Amino acid sequence: MKIYKILILIFFMMNGCDSPTSSNIPIEVPGDITNYQSNLYAINSGQHLEEVTINWNTYTEIGFIQYIIKNNLNEVLYVTEDINESIYTLNSNPAQFQKLFLVVESENETVHDSITIFTRDVKPITNFSAIANVEDWSSQLEWTSSEEVDSLFLNYKVYRLDNLNYDLFLNLDNCNCEIATINERNTSNYIDSGDFNLGEEFFYVVQTNTIQGYNRTSIIKSNLSSINYTCSPLISDNPVPSASQSEYNKIIINWDHNLNENQFYELQIWRTGSENSNPINGTLLATITDYSKTEFEDSYNIGDGTAWFYQIKLIDVHGKEDISDTFAGNSHP
């Protein structure tokens, strides 16, 4: 009998309820970390008046759900469940900067990326001059023609004011001061003749217009070329212009200046890849025509862990300039 009880005890010990051990406790392992990087990129930022195209790497892992494009208001602009779709074109007005957000959703992860894109402004005339003819006091206007696309170009309009009223130059539709319309883009001069008084001063601008109804005005020129008008443009040195050092696939540039809306004409951002080169002689990244904008996101062929060198050129409505010292930025390695 004693032997029988021992056998029963051994049986239950061998076949009783399992106790958790290190070999049978379920282990929750997180999903595998993928190597996917979206590398969101703007193909043609700043090249067109009304559109910018972005693209990204197609998803390379299993469990893909969708791509989503949103704007900075968190509005959904585009959704696709096609894993091979990796391009989107945003329609916009000229000279607009917008931040877009890419969301890549899969069963195992959600990848976020963002980029600031921009459209260009109308291309104005450049190298504008006005000189009074002392014999009859007509004004000889000369310029370099706009480089606007021929299929988009509509005309030039020439405006003349008899006083330096900056407010009117911002509202030419209501100034009652248009003196000529020129339909040929390659035209580069105009003579303003009339019953003028000797020594009378006039102020001129030439507006470039497109078939879509967009326009851009030139700098202001006086027919008394001996008078040196300026709004004394000055890029702030407190703080000085700066560029970020640790962003992925981008470098963020910041600056400040002293011009108000009436005085500001444009701000240019120039870049070079060599510290021994002058950025002004390098690549023109952007021409900004919004006086209040003081930040620019450079994502043009940035690369990883790369240093780039920048200069900023500030131009007032009379064409006077101020150029910053060179400053450097780096993308994250």
Of 64, 93, 118, which marks where a domain is finished? 118
Q: Is residue 135 part of a domain?
A: yes
What's the pLDDT score for residue 3?
45
> Is the whole-model pTM more than 0.85?
yes
179-200 per-position pLDDT tens digit: 999 999 999 999 999 889 999 9
Give the range among 20-29, 123-132, 226-235, 304-313 with minimum mean pLDDT: 20-29
Number of domains in the chain: 3
Same structural domain, 55 and 113: yes
Q: Is residue 9 part of a domain?
A: no
Same structural domain, 205 and 137: yes
Of 190, 222, 254, which marks where a domain is finished? 222
Distance, C-alpha 138 to centroid of its chain: 41
Q: Is residue 16 part of a domain?
A: no
97-106 sheet: strands from edge to edge: 76-80, 64-70, 97-106, 110-118
Q: Is residue 65 part of a domain?
A: yes
Find, among 289, 281, 149, the residue nearest to 218 by Cα.
289
Mean pLDDT for the chain? Answer: 91
Same structural domain, 48 and 113: yes
CATH number, residue 105 = 2.60.40.10
153-180 per-position pLDDT tens digit: 999 999 999 999 999 998 999 999 999 9
What's the pLDDT score for residue 22?
32
Q: Is residue 235 part of a domain?
A: no
What's the pLDDT score for residue 15?
47
User: How many CB atoms are located within 10 Å of the residue 307 CB?
Assistant: 15
- Average pLDDT rounded to a whole number, residues 309-320: 98
- Average pLDDT rounded to a whole number, residues 117-145: 97
Range of the domain at 176: 126-222
40-75 per-position pLDDT tens digit: 999 999 999 999 999 999 999 999 999 999 999 999
SS3 279: helix
List all residues 6 or more positions away from 292 whose beta carbon is below 8 Å from its beta carbon. 261
Same structural domain, 253 and 323: yes
DSSP 8-state symbol, 167: H
- Average pLDDT rounded to a whole number, residues 302-328: 95
Distance of alpha carbon 92 from alpha carbon 143, whole angstroms: 30
Q: Is residue 34 part of a domain?
A: no
What's the pLDDT score for residue 304?
81
Q: Is residue 6 part of a domain?
A: no
Q: Is residue 180 part of a domain?
A: yes
